Amino acid sequence: MSNEKNKSGLTQQEAAAELEWLAEEIARHDEAYYREDAPVISDAEYDALRQRNEMLEAEFPDLVRADSPSKRVGAAPSEKFGKVRHAVPMLSLGNAFADEDVAEFVGRIRRFLKLGDDEPVAITAEPKIDGLSINLRYENGKLVQAATRGDGQEGENVTRNCETIGDIPRMVKAEDFPAVLEVRGEIFMSHKDFAELNERQSQAGAKVFANPRNAAAGSLRQLDPAITASRPLRFFAYAWGQVERLPADTQMGVIEAFGRWGFPINPLMTVCNGVDDLLAHYHAIEEQRATLGYDIDGVVYKVNRLDLQERLGFVSRSPRWAIAHKFAAEKATTILEGIDIQVGRTGALTPVARLKPVTVGGVVVSNATLHNEDEIARKDIRIGDTVIVQRAGDVIPQVLGHVPDKRPADAVPYEFPRLCPACGSHAVREVNEKTGKADAVRRCTGGLICPAQRVERLKHFVSRNAFDIEGMGDKVIQEFYEDGLIQSPQDIFTLAARNERSLKKLKDREGWGETSAKNLFAAIDERRNVSLDRFIFALGIRHVGETTARVLARAYGTAEAFLDAMQAAQDDASEAYQELTNIDGIGNVVADAVAEFFAEPHNLAVVRELADQHLDIQPMEAVATDSPVAGMTVVFTGALERMTRDEAKAMAERLGAKVAGSVSKKTDLVVAGPGAGSKLKKATELGVEVISEDDWFTRVGG
Ligand code: IVH
């Protein structure tokens, strides 16, 4: 290796050492973040590590390591999946549906093993996860291959995709880890992640998935591992394939070893004795089914002793020593009586199936989502059809499709309304500028003249992260809106005064009384004092979530400055509009949405009235653009004596600087206190300016 220093100021040898350190360090943080859910550094610090790794790799391409973090996420698309022949076939399980089937399963085992009546046979019980099974091959602790089940003999090579899944260890360092081990288990997606993914997909006009299982399978079988990496996949280990030496002589013992080695294992697995015990555990798991947060479709029983498993062997394609006790189907068929269109806060029209009530997995279902216009067309779902309805855990029930044979002769294709059912305004599908494709969602163009949007906006206005008015939930808003008590946000703040003058007092309304009315007025009063960012978020401007609201609040500082600027920004040739798009974190989509909102005279009037007459809006400290450190990337290291780390960070950010967690070529300034170590050293090596805490105060002026 050459000793010449390179662009980064490092020799080959130093760079190799640092890349090795970065690979380990990033893997350690991945582990803390993905598996322990307990990151030890901030996202920014983590990004800085990755950036540093990327930079060094670009400079020293020969030093890119096989275990480089850059190969784990965002790697280039693979060729089509290769085929993998399983060293040990991946079999399926026989099914049990009724309690008798379970008794029969246990009886069969006892007979086969010729067990006496008083000889117990321990059997494990665990949830049957509804995802897709995977074989993970480890050699000398390293994940070398991941394959789907395929036909049981041959599966698809999805190694690179599995490497991006946080739940799956890429390297196991335990001393007792076998030299060759194939861990088998299920890849799945949680209900919450599934709903969020579908929401994102729908917003982007992309495919929405029918259920978490499809979403998991679709996400894993991506040719581009970067897409898999962006999908929140999870894993439970429950079986094994080829193995050099097992760590225990029972099913439970081996699974516990998997747990010790860092594989996620299901916490509901237990060892049972006898049929009654198995059934009790089955019902216990079934009871938790709706609250687990992921789909399961039964309970799997396995003979615990591995020597007995071996004696029992296999019948055709499934083991004699295991069985899946399935839950009652969560699918049912019923008649689609109508399609209702709901209008959301931003005007999105969502089709909801009105169903002849039917019991699905023990719950009566009379509504189900139909996702959007394209989904109805794709599935050709018509009113009057017999449809298949699925309920999965706490996911909103959905219509999977129709039964062609049962279609009434007069059923006609469904025509999605072109006019908003709530206000009659045109409902349109915007074209995504980037993709050129029509948005999956049709939206009402009526804005605040649309009663549906008005009431949804009111609900948003008082919601927890906005005005957070206690005692004023969705139901109260709906009721007050319908009775004409509250039509627009400012009415909330005049409610008490109007109540004084009114003959029909709030306390006399059904469900209300003296105390609850008084409490509500007090809760409203308490919120007259509001921070600018909450205020902006509460307005419910499209694309302006909490983070964007905070960015805007910081940029403009006071309500007056914000409103004046927004009034001027209606014209997109204006300086004010330019300024808006110049804010770091505000792109054209947000700027247009904000400008459009304020271009509506009614909106501007409401916001002005709120600000001038009803509220005391607290200013937000603005980010300086003219400070001596504006635009700089600053790293604080060592002990700080005049401020805490958080204070230092907040101060630097207020002064327009970015604060990073580690030193890189991009760092402009390092503020080092006593005890500063590697970061100081790196800064000196890279030639980055280093100053003391006192210097910092002198530089920023106090
Ligand atoms: S054991 C030889 N345990 O069910 C049997 N399978 O119908 C190995 N599955 O292909 C499988 N949860 O995809 C086992 N806790 C669990 C399971 C489970 C889900 C799936 C697996 C398998 C299918 C068999």
Tens digit of each residue's pLDDT (9 = 90 or more) over 484-513: 999 999 999 999 999 999 988 999 999 999
How far apart are the C-alpha atoms of 591 and 645, rounded to whole Å? Answer: 33
The pLDDT-based confidence of 47 (bands split at 50, 70, 90) is low
* Residue 75 in this model has a pLDDT that exceeds 70: no
Percent pLDDT > 90 in the chain is 59
Query: Is 128 part of the annotated catalytic residue set?
Result: yes
Mutate to test the pocket of ligand 1, among 136, 300, 304, 309 (most ligand atoms within 8 A of CB): 300
Q: Choose the catalytic residue: 71, 128, 459, 679.
A: 128
Tens digit of each residue's pLDDT (9 = 90 or more) over 25-35: 887 766 654 44
Question: Please, what is the angle between helix 559-568 and helix 546-556, to 10°?
Answer: 100
Backbone angles phi, psi at 129, to 5 degrees: -80, 135
How far apart are the C-alpha atoms of 28 and 173, rounded to whole Å? Answer: 12
Give the Å distance between the CA of 92 and the centre of ligand 1: 7
Tens digit of each residue's pLDDT (9 = 90 or more) over 622-680: 677 788 999 899 999 888 888 887 788 878 877 888 888 888 888 999 999 888 888 88
> What is 43-111 written as a DSSP string?
HHHHHHHHHHHHHHHHH-GGG--TT-GGGTSSPPPPSSPPEEE-SS-----EEE-SHHHHHHHHHHHHH
Mutate to test the pocket of ligand 1, among 238, 243, 297 (most ligand atoms within 8 A of CB): 238
The pLDDT-based confidence of 80 (bands split at 50, 70, 90) is low
How far apart are the C-alpha atoms of 367 and 54, rounded to whole Å? Answer: 50
| Sequence-ordered list of residues with C-beta below 8 angstroms from that of 566, at least 6 positions apart, any chain | 576, 594, 595, 597, 598, 604
pLDDT at 77: 27
Q: Which residues line ligand 1 (CB under 6 A)?
A: 91-93, 126, 128-129, 133, 149, 186, 238-239, 300, 319, 322, 324
| Sequence-ordered list of residues with C-beta below 8 angstroms from that of 690, at least 6 positions apart, any chain | 669, 670, 671, 672, 680, 683, 684
pLDDT at 35: 41
Which tokens is 30 given? 């991945």
> What is 169-194 written as a DSSP string?
-SB---TT--SEEEEEEEEE--HHHH
Average pLDDT over residues 73-88: 63
Residue 234 to residues 216, 298, 326, 394, 612: CA-CA distances in angstroms?
Answer: 9, 19, 22, 18, 50
Tens digit of each residue's pLDDT (9 = 90 or more) over 135-182: 999 999 999 999 999 888 888 999 999 999 999 999 999 999 999 999
pLDDT at 625: 78
Which tokens is 397 given? 């029930």
Taking CA atoms only, the protein residue closest to ligand 1 atom 16 is 128
Taking CA atoms only, the protein residue closest to ligand 1 atom 9 is 128
**Nearest residue to 361 via CA among 267, 289, 274:** 289
How far apart are the C-alpha atoms of 48 and 33, rounded to whole Å? Answer: 15
**Nearest residue to 460 via CA among 526, 558, 536, 554:** 536
Selected residue with higher pLDDT from 644 and 268: 268
Give the Å distance between the CA of 487 and the centre of ligand 1: 55
Question: 85 pairs with which residues across the strands?
Answer: 154
Residue type, 219: S
Backbone angles phi, psi at 173, to 5 degrees: -105, 0
Q: Output b/e per residue, 70-83; b: 16+ Cβ within 10 A.
A: bbbbebeebeebee
pLDDT at 639: 85
Give the Å distance between the CA of 91 and the centre of ligand 1: 8
Residue type, 15: A
Tens digit of each residue's pLDDT (9 = 90 or more) over 399-421: 989 999 999 999 999 999 999 99
* Residue 2 in this model has a pLDDT that exceeds 50: no
Whether 450 and 337 have beta carbons less than 8 Å apart is answered as no
**Nearest residue to 69 via CA among 161, 136, 163:** 163
* Residue 299 in this model has a pLDDT that exceeds 70: yes
How far apart are the C-alpha atoms of 187 and 135, rounded to whole Å? Answer: 10
Residue 130 CA: which ligand 1 atom is closest? 19
Which tokens is 629 given? 């450190």
Taking CA atoms only, the protein residue closest to ligand 1 atom 24 is 92
Give the Å distance between the CA of 406 and the centre of ligand 1: 35
pLDDT at 622: 67
**Nearest residue to 483 via CA among 495, 467, 471:** 495
Backbone angles phi, psi at 161, to 5 degrees: -70, -40
How far apart are the C-alpha atoms of 278 and 282, rounded to whole Å? Answer: 6
The pLDDT-based confidence of 440 (bands split at 50, 70, 90) is confident
Q: Output b/e per residue, 161-199; b: 16+ Cβ within 10 A.
A: bbbbbbbbbbebeeeebbeebbbbbbbbbbbebbbebbe
Give the Å distance between the CA of 138 and the centre of ligand 1: 20
pLDDT at 142: 95
Whether 539 and 458 have beta carbons less than 8 Å apart is answered as no
Selected residue with higher pLDDT from 373 and 2: 373
* Residue 530 in this model has a pLDDT that exceeds 50: yes
| Sequence-ordered list of residues with C-beta below 8 angstroms from that of 373, at least 6 positions apart, any chain | 351, 416, 429, 440, 442
pLDDT at 65: 83
pLDDT at 329: 67
pLDDT at 659: 81
Give the Å distance between the CA of 693 and the centre of ligand 1: 59
The pLDDT-based confidence of 392 (bands split at 50, 70, 90) is low
Backbone angles phi, psi at 641, to 5 degrees: -105, -25
Taking CA atoms only, the protein residue closest to ligand 1 atom 3 is 238
pLDDT at 331: 84
For the ranges 242-251, 369-378, 524-533, 637-646, which has the lowest average pLDDT? 637-646
Residue 133 CA: which ligand 1 atom is closest? 13
Domains along the chain with CATH numbers: 83-316 (3.30.470.30), 462-527 (1.10.150.20), 531-618 (1.10.150.20), 633-699 (3.40.50.10190)
Taking CA atoms only, the protein residue closest to ligand 1 atom 15 is 128
Residue type, 690: V
SS3 of residue 503 by DSSP: coil
Taking CA atoms only, the protein residue closest to ligand 1 atom 2 is 91
How far apart are the C-alpha atoms of 230 and 209, rounded to whole Å? Answer: 15
pLDDT at 542: 87
Number of H helices, E strands in the chain: 24, 26
Whether 188 and 212 have beta carbons less than 8 Å apart is answered as yes
Highest mean pLDDT among 276-285, 308-317, 680-689: 276-285
